[in-house]
Amino acid sequence: MAFVIVLVVVAIAVFVISAPLRAHRDHRRQEDPEAARVAELEFARDAKYREIRDAELDLRTGKLSPEDYGAIDRTLRAEAIEIMRALEASPAPHEE
């Protein structure tokens, strides 16, 4: 009985581990480095949006003066634009 259980476990393990090596699916997505780069850009874009929000929150909660906020906000938005330009230029599909 123990032998059978171990054999079944080994079979499942081999099946699961070898699946990518056996599969002939979606090579484009697996091998496409551009998809990973787009994912990073989207992540960076979302992080930049959060920073813009954080700066706005700092202004509204009185931590930043309007002048300081203006300078920081301009910098952050410029960085966001750069990221979005890079996303627009990417051939891979990306979320809007």
Q: Where do contacts with another protein occur on this chain (CB under 8 A)?
A: 2, 5-6, 9-10, 12-13, 16-21, 23, 30-31, 33, 35-36, 39-40, 43, 46-47, 49-58, 60-65, 68, 72, 77-78, 80-81, 84-85, 88, 95-96
Q: By C-beta, is 17 or 91 nearer to another protein? A: 17
Q: Which residue has the tokens 């484009």?
A: 28
Length of the chain: 96
Q: How far is the CB of 3 from another protein (least distance, A)?
A: 8
